[in-house]
Amino acid sequence: MKFMKKRKGTTRGYPKNVAVALSGSSLRLEWLLRLFILALAGGLFFWGWRLDVADKGFKVGLPSPRDYYVLSEVTYLDEDTTRQLKENLASRVLGVKVIDFSLVPIVRAVLEDIDNPSSWSYLPEGLVNILKALPSSKRGRILDVTRNIGLQMLSLDNYSSSSTDLRGDLWKYLANANLPIADKNIAYQILSYLFTFVVETDSETTALVREFYKSSVELVEKVLKPGTLLVKKGELITPGIANLLRLQGYPESRFPNMQLAMVLLMVFLWSFLHRYTDLQEWRQTSTIRMTYFATLLILGWVMQFGVARVNALYSGIGTLPIVGWGYLTMPYISAFYLGLSGGLLGVMISSSNSFAYLYSMFLAVLITVLAHAVFKERPTTQGKAFLKIELVGFVAVALWYAFSGVFYHVPLLRDMLFVLLLLLCLGGIFILLLPLIERVFDVVSPIRLMELTHPSNALLKRLQVEAPGTYHHSMMVSTLAEAAAEQIRANALLVRGGAYYHDIGKLKRPQYFIENQIEGENVHDTLSPSLSALIILSHVQEGINLAKEYGLPSAMIDFIAEHHGTTCLSYFYNKARRNGDKVDKDQYCYPGPKPRSKETALLMLADSVEAAVRALGPSVLDITTLDDAVKQVIEVKKQEGQLDEVNLTMKDLSAIRQAFVTTLMSMYHTRWVRDKK
């Protein structure tokens, strides 16, 4: 089963038809890596919550586990205070009194005839017993006062002025009565009871009035400054305080299921993004490249998780080594994709504190963007690489501190020393693990390329001694290819390394190749065309075997395998046909594959151009001759289809031709001057 995707039309320099194929094993590996990454993300998130939040977070309704302070200025609506104000105002409404006017005449009649025991039937039995037990003279005085005050309060004038609460005025009237306090109390009890028939509290109306007063209270808005104490340790966490703590990013003790689901969903969707971007190493690459990308991602998450355990605000710094490895060993767009999106996901995975997200994500973005600028010129030594990665870290942290100092808090000296030590440690990890990563995952950095292209390299020294003509040819091809690579913004250092090693297979039989032969002698004159072709064609496979023996990276082996593509040895094929031999043309062609990258295509063109110009010999007397020779070589390679799998545009080919001609002019300038003299 294959996943196939075709592009039609030329877009951004790609050829008209680009097939993207993932074999069944590659698809299985992709899903295996995807599931592993999801499991790792979930595991890191869970353990981060266990370590940081499970026993340290707050919970509504329980005592606060610590003192909580305001971290950043916040304006909020204080619902608790607003609710208290409403309740206080509503509590002032004791009740809404209503008057039943139909009962007023009955109460008046009872009061007028209060001396008559028959009127006592309207009173409670307890009051009646008290009146009966009193001496007649004392009872008479109490009933007289009761009648006078009651009738006075029911009079029309006083009635309208005190209609809302008649009983509220009872003691005011009784205060002027010439009675002992005990007798006043009896009078009060009688009047209070009688007035309950006339004046009573309406619960529905009271509730409406209380709600009206509550609605008149506006929401209380408060501004909290950084450093303000939100809640002390041991105080109860109310819903309002809990909302404030959430606004400040303090974690709750409950497990954030929704947050975990969101993180896993983002990681899952992100893992498909490579199919819709220009990440060629995910599309047309071996499984080891896919594994390498996933390994860097996982390493980055683990480092961010470790940093977050010390201080969640700095978890973004954990992306530093990963960004460095990415920009040294991967295409820029892939490294940027890994550092930015992978770093942001790592921040979310490594900490369940939503407040820390904002600052850590900003730090991860700063590191990735600065690395993208600083690593435009890739370092070629470990010292330069260390300085560059530290520069990225220091500048990113400085900008982050400037931002946080304005919007959050001024960093303490202790925090700054911690970050300094952390940057040095991460830089050391970056340098120490780089050689191991290169060898385990078969990737190549500019540092390793410089080591491979140094003249002291054992294989290059063999080439100098055993095949000096091939060594000189390789240097010439390197000069041509590197100049062209700089013009089309290909990897010039990689092209140089590939040019140095592309013909190492000739070490096995150097005398059978023209550049190593003494002038006038050609061993192929005494060999059959088929044997000559076999010897020449075999130098590709022998070069691959020798490269593996010396531990060269696969990037170098690609140059060896692809620098001839599937071209044929026309000279020996035609010679065999002239001799009357029955030949199969495939026996006279290189096995390939055709060049699959700009760099290997440049080497093929430079190798053919150098051989063609060398074959012209003294006939190369002017620029026009050079230009025609270069143009013819490029045109032949195009017609043979050797460039079909490479995304070289017509503009690129024109720039390559111009670079070849300019470089060859400088090479042949001395000879032209000498010939003219």
Q: For residue 18, what are the β-bridge partners?
A: 7
Are 561 and 603 a contacting pair, CB within 8 Å?
Answer: no
More confident residue, 520 or 627: 627
- Determine the pLDDT at residue 357: 66
Tens digit of pLDDT for each residue in 514-530?
A: 888 876 677 887 888 88
Tens digit of pLDDT for each residue in 12-41?
A: 333 333 334 455 677 787 788 888 888 888
Mean pLDDT across the stretch 325-331?
90
Q: Could you tell me if 502 and 431 lie in one domain?
A: no
The single residue listed with the structure tokens 């051989």 is: 611
Tens digit of pLDDT for each residue in 428-441?
A: 999 999 999 999 99
- To the nearest 10 degrees (0 to 180), the angle between helices 492-501 and 598-616 is 50
Say yes or no to pLDDT of 617 above 50. Answer: yes
Residue 646: which CATH number? 1.10.3210
Least confident among 163-177, 392-406, 628-642: 163-177
Tens digit of pLDDT for each residue in 559-568?
A: 999 999 999 9
Mean pLDDT across the stretch 134-159?
78
What is the DSSP code (8-state) at residue 567? -
Query: Has residue 35 been placed in a domain?
Result: no
Mean pLDDT across the stretch 484-503?
94
φ, ψ of residue 124 to 5 degrees: the values are -65, 155
Q: How far apart are CA 613 and CA 629, in angstroms?
A: 7
Query: Has residue 370 been placed in a domain?
Result: yes
Q: Could you tell me if 389 and 282 lie in one domain?
A: yes
Residue 509: burial class (beta carbons within 10 Å; 0-12, 13-18, 19+):
middle
Please enumerate in sequence order all residues whose Cβ is within 8 A of that of 306, keeping only pairs 6 or more positions apart, or say none: 318
The single residue listed with the structure tokens 């501004």 is: 223
Show the domain range for 120.
101-197
Query: Has residue 90 been placed in a domain?
Result: no
Say yes or no to pLDDT of 7 above 60. Answer: no
Select the highest-mean-pLDDT range: 185-194, 592-601, 666-675.
592-601
User: Which uninterrupted H or E stretch holds 333?
Assistant: helix 332-337
- Determine the pLDDT at residue 459: 94
Q: For residue 77, what are the β-bridge partners?
A: 221
Instruction: Specify the pTM.
Output: 0.66
Query: Has residue 79 been placed in a domain?
Result: no
- Determine the pLDDT at residue 156: 47
User: Which uninterrupted H or E stretch holds 184?
Assistant: helix 181-198
Q: Could you tell me if 478 and 610 lie in one domain?
A: yes
Q: How far apart are CA 326 and CA 336, in angstroms?
A: 8
Handedness of CA 240, 241, 243, 247 (dihedral sign): positive
Say yes or no to pLDDT of 533 above 80. Answer: yes
Q: How far apart are CA 330 and CA 335, in angstroms?
A: 6
More confident residue, 116 or 273: 116
CA distances from 503 to 168, 318, 515, 535, 608 (A): 115, 42, 12, 13, 13
Q: Could you tell me if 176 and 290 lie in one domain?
A: no
Q: What is the mean pLDDT of the chain?
A: 81
CA distances from 635 to 153, 487, 490, 582, 657 (A): 122, 19, 21, 30, 11
Residue 319: which CATH number? 1.10.1760
Domain stop point among 143, 167, 197:
197
- Determine the pLDDT at residue 198: 65
Q: Could you tell me if 363 and 478 lie in one domain?
A: no
| Ranges assigned E (strand) in 124-277 | 199-201, 220-224, 229-231
Q: What percent of the chain has pLDDT over 90?
A: 30
More confident residue, 152 or 385: 385
Q: What is the DSSP string of 257-322?
A: HHHHHHHHHHHHHHTTGGGGSS-HHHHS--HHHHHHHHHHHHHHHHHHHHHHHH-GGGGGGGGHHH
Q: Could you tell me if 523 and 640 lie in one domain?
A: yes
Q: Could you tell me if 534 and 568 lie in one domain?
A: yes
Query: Has residue 105 been placed in a domain?
Result: yes
Q: Could you tell me if 335 and 401 lie in one domain?
A: yes
Query: Has residue 238 been placed in a domain?
Result: no
Q: Could you tell me if 188 and 274 lie in one domain?
A: no
Domain stop point among 443, 476, 495:
443
Mean pLDDT across the stretch 401-424?
78
- Determine the pLDDT at residue 195: 74
Domain stop point among 443, 462, 493:
443
Confidence band of 207 (pLDDT split at 50, 70, 90): confident
User: How many structural domains comprise the chain?
Assistant: 3
Mean pLDDT across the stretch 319-329?
93
- Determine the pLDDT at residue 281: 46
Query: Has residue 4 been placed in a domain?
Result: no
Tens digit of pLDDT for each residue in 439-483?
A: 999 899 999 999 999 989 999 999 999 999 999 999 999 999 999
Query: Has residue 47 been placed in a domain?
Result: no
Q: Could you tell me if 488 and 434 lie in one domain?
A: no
Q: Smallest Cα–Cα separation from 250: which of 404, 344, 361, 356?
A: 356
Tens digit of pLDDT for each residue in 52-101?
A: 666 667 778 778 877 888 877 777 677 777 778 878 877 776 666 566 66
Q: Could you tell me if 501 and 645 lie in one domain?
A: yes
